[in-house]
Amino acid sequence: MIKITTLALLLATGFVSARDIQAETFVIQAGGDGREATVKIPVGAVSAFSANSAVALTNFADPQVEAMRLSGDVRIHVIGSPVPIQIRADHVVLELTADQAPVHPDRVSLSRPGHHVESAQVIVDDPQTQTFVGHVVFTEQTPSGALEIKADRLERLTGPFAGI
C-alpha cells in the first residue's frame, strides 16, 4: 500500500512540475502565395518530430543537409534552448543539419538571450501571443547550432509545456 501511495505521489508531482515548465510554441501558418515554410535545425537539437506524411527531398541543393517535406499535423520538439520549443504546422520543409561544436564549449550558456526575429509586421495579441507577418525569419541558438524558421506568418505562444 505504501509503495502504491508513493508511486502515485511521484506521478502527481511529475505532472505538476511538467505543467509549471514554461515553453514557446511556434505555429507556422501557410502563406497565401503558396511558398513553403522551412525549419532548419541541427540534428542534436531535435528531441522528436512527427507528421502524417514525410517525403525525402533527394535532389536538395546542399548535400550536407537531410531535407524532407512534412505535411499533416507536423510537430517538432526542440531541446537545448533556455525553454522547450514546440513547432506546429500543416506543411513545412524540414532541413536537418549536422551539429556544430561551439567555439568555446566551456563558455556555452543557455541563460544568454538566444533568439532573434525579423518580420515586416508584429502583432501583439496579449503578453503570451505574438504574430509575425511578412518574410519572417526566427533564429534561436542551441548548443548544437542555430535553429532557423523561415515563413510568411509565424505565431509565437508562451505558456506551460504541453509535452511531446
pLDDT of residue 101: 65
Three-class SS string for the chain?
A: CHHHHHHHHHHHHHHHHHHHCEEEEEEEECCCCCCCCEEEEEHHHEEEEECCEEEECCCCCCCCCEEEEEEEEEEEEECCCCCCEEEEEEEEEEEEECCCCCCCHHHCCCCCCCEEEECCEEEEEECCEEEEEEEEEEEEEECCEEEEEEEEEEEEEEEECCCC
Q: What are 30-43's pLDDT values in tens digits?
A: 766 767 899 999 99
User: How far is CA 65 from its chain centroid?
Assistant: 18
Residues in the chain with pLDDT values less than 50:
1, 3-18, 104-112, 164
If one counts every other C-beta atom within 10 angstroms of the C-beta of residue 57, the result is 14
pTM metric for this prediction: 0.76
What's the pLDDT at 111? 39
